[in-house]
Structure 1
Amino acid sequence: MTDDAPAEPASGIDVPADGMPLRLGSLRRRIRRTADLSQRDLAGALGIAASMVAQVETGARDLPATVLARAATLAGLRLGLLDASGREVGGMTPDAVRDRRGRLFPAHLDVRHGDEGWWHGDERYSRTPPWYTFDRGRPLRDGFRQATGTPADHQLPRPGDSPDDRARARRLAAVARQRERRAPRGTERRWGALLVLTCRCPAACDGLLFSDEELSAGRRAVPHVDDCRCRCDIA
């Protein structure tokens, strides 16, 4: 059951057309009937005054959601959120990405990686890029939603989300694209009339692309280790 009950009343429950409090009062009466509890019994189980239960059922006052949830549990029921079609909607995941202080991001905003078009300007040279960020301006956020859709939830943290890991992945992807475009010598083979190019460089050659050591001019131009037999042009 839910405070945002469907427009159509449940069978056997009268729903006045002129007020939500009375409709909720009838649902709370349904809780008592299902649980077989008097107003005094329900009040005792919830730790509230019996007069409060009476006022709630007549629409004179309301119950906090936590108390209402406890009352529903006594009847073997539970509260839920329903969409326009009557399907139950779950809460947002507590395992989503968080900011540097361990806080969840604002629920109404969309979270993305910190290096996706946000980290710009001179400050990028003096500040550490965040792993995740969001756009405060609704027009920009709505533009992303129009182009890619509205995410159902905030993203979950995954290995490789750090800016350094993502930058390395982009470099490796660029190297792979270069190898696909360029023709390595001595490694050609044909599949019918189609020329298929392959690279047989050892992994140590890739390490030279991101090496912190001083490289010779030749290795900077075409980085290969001495025992590489492929020697393809990936510069």
Structure 2
Amino acid sequence: MGSLLRRIRRRGDLSQRELARLLGISAAAIGQAESGRRDLPARVLCRAAALAGLRVTLADRSGTEVPGMAPDAVRDAAGRRYPAHLDTRFGDLGWWHGEQRYSRERPWYTFDRVREVRDESRRFTGTPDGHLVAGPADSPAERTRSRARAAAEAREDLRRRRRAARAPPRHRLSVPV
């Protein structure tokens, strides 16, 4: 933290007092953070970086910047965010009860709490980068219609291929004159 604050002050040409005044904190807080005796809240560090024309980012081991999770990711029916460590999925995939069992509507989105289930899914499909982002056709009813259309198209394609396989070959014979 200390070396970062010193870099910020160097780039911004700011003394500890000037930086503290601009951030609305005490000069002692800046001094203590630079010496490693205390931390600064992330918001304060981000504001300090912005004053020097810098920004705080997350980077992976290779140094590639990693963006934050999408702010418009799906939420539950009460408007709450889903837990960040869980993988969201459509509620009509792998739903475990029949229509006759519950009178509740199926959720549009859900997640699996059981780590073994998540790990198995991630083994096959990889770990998603973030949560799903809601789309206009994400309702369970629209997804059912979409799957029905895709199935009908697949059946029609199969019929065409079977007809083509049964049809006698069309050969044109040309006889030299």
Superposition TM-score tier, normalisation by shorter sequence:
0.7 to 0.9
Matches within 5 A, 1:24-43: 24-43=1-20
Residues 61, 84 of structure 1: alpha-carbon distance in 2 compared, 3 angstrom cutoff: same
CA RMSD of aligned residues (A): 2.5
Comparing 110-119 with 169-178, which one deviates more in the overlay?
Answer: 169-178
Counterpart of 1:165 (choices 135, 139, 142) is 142
Q: Secondary structure at the match of 1:165?
A: helix
**Higher helix proportion:** 2
Shift in Å, 1:137: 0.9
Instruction: Kindly indicate whether residue 59 of structure 2 is the aligned counterpart of residue 82 of structure 1.
Output: yes
Instruction: Kindly indicate whether residue 17 of structure 2 is the aligned counterpart of residue 70 of structure 1.
Output: no
TM superposition score normalised by structure 1: 0.64
- The one of the two structures with greater contact order (alpha-carbon pairs below 8 A, sep at least 6) is 2
Distance 2:51 2:27 in 1: 16
Distance 1:56 1:171 in 2: 60
Shift in Å, 1:179: 3.6
Matches within 5 A, 1:187-226: 193=169
Counterpart of 1:135 (choices 108, 112, 134) is 112
TM superposition score normalised by structure 2: 0.83
Counterpart residue number, 2:95: 118
Distance 2:147 2:4 in 1: 56
CA contact (8 A) 1:119 1:129 kept: no
Deviations along 1:197-221, one digit per CA (max 9) or x if unpaired, are xxxxxxxxxxxxxxxxxxxxxxxxx
Unmatched runs of 5 consecutive residues or more in structure 2: 171-177
Counterpart residue number, 2:174: none
Q: Once the two structures are aligned, what percentage of the paired residues are identical?
A: 58
CA contact (8 A) 1:112 1:134 kept: yes
Equivalenced residue count is 167
Distance 1:178 1:77 in 2: 56
Counterpart residue number, 1:53: 30
Unmatched runs of 5 consecutive residues or more in structure 1: 1-23, 195-235
